[in-house]
Structure formats: C-alpha cells, structure tokens
Amino acid sequence: GHSKLLQATCPHHNCPRRMTPTEMATHNPKMKLAWDRSFFELFLQRSSMHRQCPGPDCTMVATCATPTASSKSSSRGTATGVTCTQCKTSFCFDCGNEPHQPAACADFVEWNRLFKSSDLWIKKHAKPCPGCQVPIEKSQGCNHMVCENCGTQFCWLCLSKLRRHSEDHVCHRYDPLQDMGGKADSEASDKRWALFASDRYDSHNQAEAFVSEQILDLQGHADHMEVEMGQLSSLPNADAKDDHDMNADDDEEEEEDGHGSAARSTALSAMLVLVDARRFLKHSYVATYARRHDPSTLTILESHQGALEMLTERLNQLTDTNLQSKFIVRGEQGIRNHYRAMDFYRMSILNYMQRVVTVMNEMHHHHHHHHHEDGSGNQ
C-alpha cells in the first residue's frame, strides 16, 4: 500500500512525473490524507528512533532520545521496554513485541518460534516420583510436591528430593550431564535444555498471572482491606507522620483509614514489582537458553538469575502471608516488620533487575569489542 501511493504520478495521460504533496492536496484532498498517513507509516518503519504503539487503535508514537545500538536490529544487548502513556500498553521499543528484558530481541523471537509452535511446548503433566518412580500429576501452582504413594517430597521442576515444605529451594541451573549418563550429545542436550527452560518459563509465567489476579482483587476490595488493615497495623513512619497531621479531637476511624491505605499501597507496590520480577525471570530463561553454548556468559547469568529468584520467592512469601493470623502471633510490631520487609525486598528486586541489565549490556559490548579486534588483526 505505502509504495503505490507514495509513487503516485501526475494524473495527466501517461505523464511519468511524480506528484508533489501540494499538487495532490489541491487535486484530491482524500488522497492527500492517505498519502500523509502512508508517508508517516513508512517513516516509522524506517526510523530507529520511533515506534508506533502496538496497543489496539492507539495512535501514540514512542520516541527514543538516542538511536540505541540495538534499534530494530537483532543486537544481543538487552532490549528497552516502554509503556504507552495513553493506552498503558507495554511493549519492547526495539522489536514491538511484549517487553522481554533481559532477553535480546533476536533471542525472544527465536524462542517464540521454537516454543509456541512446536512439540517442545509439550505439557508434561506427569513426572516420575524420585522416590518410587510412580508417575505423579501436577495439580496446583506450587512446585513443592508430595508423592501420595511413598510420601517423598520433591521439586517438580528438577525432581530433587526436599526435606520440608519451607525449605529455600531454587532450582535454576541446568546440568547437561545429569540426563545423559555423562555424555552430552548436543542435539539431545539441546532438547533437554529447551524442556528445562520452558518449564521454568512456565512456572514464572503462572506465578506472574497469579500475582496479577491478586492485584485486581486488592484494587477491587480496597474498602474491605482498609478496615482489615486499620484494625491490624500502623506502618513504619506512617504513624509518626499521622500524629503531627491529626488534631487530637479527630476520631479514631480516620486514623485507622490512614494506616489502612498506607498498608495497602505498600502491599500494592510490592505486588506490582513482583509482576515485573516474574516477567523478568521468565525472560531470563530465554536469555540463558540462547547462551547455552557460551559457558562463561552462562555462569554469570545463572548466578544473577538464582539470586533474583531467591529475592522474588521471599517477597512472594510476604505478599501471600495471612496477616490476621500473623497479627495474633506477632502483634502490631510483627505487622510493622512485615511491611518493612516487603519494602526492603521490593527495593532490592528493583535494584537487582537494573544491575542484571547493566551487566548484560556490558558483556554484550565486551563481546563486540573482541570481534572487532579479531577483524582488524586479520586484515
């Protein structure tokens, strides 16, 4: 469509001269409108500093202050996620897909090609119990399984045995030798890698969906929460501030409201960061899968991935805690500490995600540097 309109020639019989926009405006205003739109769309396609928002019927255009190295090319640096101010759609500025930090655009596209369409997306609904080998089906979100046949507790993802339910167990490292009886035959190993990575991706994806649900609940039940939190808690430094703002003759209820909304906003910000963290972790498996044959990068990536998973699981435990029962056991101070911890983990996760992106971009530039040196050396 674009090219035909933009190549439109003079309407006189067989005249090859291209029409100028001004002539078009006088000759056919409707056509001029279409021409403008085509010109604009072509510009957006070719410009590395602009991207049309992919949101439904949204006319906003995202601009990027500096043309990034990765702009719309398949560079390996991490991509830039943006959110439209108008329709709130989040997307990757570089490739227009959903935001997929810390995975590079090319890796993300390749991942989708591999998994969305192929038999690798097999939902393995049953796995053998590591204790008695009876096939077990997964029924709920938690990866901590208990075999009904022999009582063995194990991790659904890596099938290692666990001692007790509260055990901090994060399995994110794939051991290519564990399955092959020692010989890492590359095609079979790739397949195992793919299954492992997609398992982990799914797991974070489910957790992300679950937290998103909780957020909707929290926003929907604001009033009910207000009351519940008001009875329970005053927040770190919310109490000091409130005392100054309140006149002594104000009634109790208002004070409780203040605490309730402060508590709710702490919980809400924690959950919003959890959604980001789950999305980030999910795509970190896209990144590790793409670098499965590059041991040095992989080691760095996996250690960051493991640390971020620990922080995320911790924050998730905090947002899942039943505060009523915690209040009964730990009292007001316990609730205060609970919210302090929530804030602490929320900030840690934000800082850590930022750090991983920085590290990956540095590794990426470092890589490129070496390639150039090799090139010039050979000339």
Domains of the chain: 2-119 (no CATH), 190-378 (1.20.120)
Give CA separation, 68 vs 47, 64, 79, 361, in Å.
Answer: 12, 8, 10, 12
pLDDT attached to residue 131: 86
How much of the chain exceeds pLDDT 70, in percent?
66
- Long-range CB contacts (within 8 A, 24+) of 58-61: 58/84, 58/86, 58/87, 58/89, 60/84, 60/85, 60/86, 60/87
Handedness of CA 284, 361, 308, 80 (dihedral sign): negative
pLDDT attached to residue 24: 74
pLDDT attached to residue 31: 78
Band (237; pLDDT cuts 50, 70, 90) = very low
Asked whether the predicted pLDDT for residue 248 surpasses 60, the reply is no
Least confident of 13-27, 52-66, 79-93: 52-66
Band (269; pLDDT cuts 50, 70, 90) = very high
Q: Which residues of 254-266 are buried (b: 16+ CB within 10 A; e: fewer)?
A: ebbebbbbbbbeb
Q: What is the mean pLDDT of residues 256-261?
A: 58
- Rounded Cα gap, residues 204 and 276, in angstroms: 11
pLDDT attached to residue 258: 52
- Output the DSSP codes for 127-166: EE-TTT--EEE--SS-SEEE-TTT--EEETTT--B-SSTT
Band (245; pLDDT cuts 50, 70, 90) = very low
C-alpha R_g of the chain: 27
* pLDDT, tens digit, 9 for 90 and up, residues 187-234: 667 777 888 888 899 899 999 999 999 888 888 776 555 545 554 444
- Rounded Cα gap, residues 132 and 147, in angstroms: 9
H helix and E strand count, the chain = 10, 8
- Cross-strand bridge partners of residue 135: 128
Q: What is the mean pLDDT of residues 334-339?
A: 90
pLDDT attached to residue 172: 62
Task: Kindly report the average pLDDT of the chain as a whole number.
Answer: 74
pLDDT attached to residue 243: 41
Specify the residue for token string 């000091």.
Answer: 240
pLDDT attached to residue 165: 61
Query: What region, left, alpha or beta, does residue 42 occupy, with left being phi > 0 and alpha being psi -120 to 50 degrees?
Result: alpha
* pLDDT, tens digit, 9 for 90 and up, residues 145-157: 888 888 888 887 7
Band (259; pLDDT cuts 50, 70, 90) = low
Contact 231, 240 (CB under 8 A): no
Give CA separation, 157 vs 1, 173, 291, in Å.
Answer: 49, 11, 20
Band (315; pLDDT cuts 50, 70, 90) = very high
Instruction: Give Cβ neighbours of residue 189 (< 8 Å, ≥ 6 apart).
Output: 176, 179, 180
Q: What is the mean pLDDT of residues 318-335?
A: 85
Asked whether the predicted pLDDT for residue 166 surpasses 70, the reply is no
Instruction: Give Cβ neighbours of residue 222 (< 8 Å, ≥ 6 apart).
Output: 264
- Rounded Cα gap, residues 170 and 247, in angstroms: 50
pLDDT attached to residue 241: 40
pLDDT attached to residue 274: 95
